[in-house]
Amino acid sequence: MSNAILFLILPVLIVVLQYYANVMVLYGNRYLSPTEVLFYEGVLYIIVGLLFLIGMRNYNLRRAGEVVAIAKEFPSGDEYVGRSDFFRRYIWQVKGSTRLGLILIFSGLLMIVVYFLTL
């Protein structure tokens, strides 16, 4: 349950802070609005999140199943048991980058939603 709360609160917090930073930096700029910049930042967050998901060390097709299982585990909070002792021992490396990638992707999607809601 705490993973789901973190998974919902953190992207919203990132979007609010990023929008506030855009308002502070772009105050008085008549060419760009903070929501337009938020759209571009949302696309950038999605790309960086995807790079975190696929750019892990030793990523191959065998570990793809591990990443999908961890991505499924993250919102639900259920415990994941690896196929072998090797995967259970080194699963923390995959978990951190997978969580960061998912948070960045959902933050980017939320930024794009905010942009389209303010049109």
Mean residue pLDDT across the chain: 78
Specify the pLDDT at position 67: 63
The residue with greater pLDDT, 115 or 85, is 115
Give the range among 2-6, 12-16, 91-95, 100-104 with minimum mean pLDDT: 91-95
| Sequence-distant (≥ 6) Cβ neighbours of residue 98 within 8 angstroms | 52, 53, 56, 67, 70, 71, 74
Q: Of the given ranges (29-33, 53-57, 71-75, 90-94), which has the lowest mean pLDDT? A: 90-94
**Distance between CA atoms of 11 and 69, rounded to whole angstroms?**
21
pTM: 0.70
**Mind listing the pLDDT tens digit for each residue in 55-85?**
765 555 556 666 666 666 655 666 655 555 4
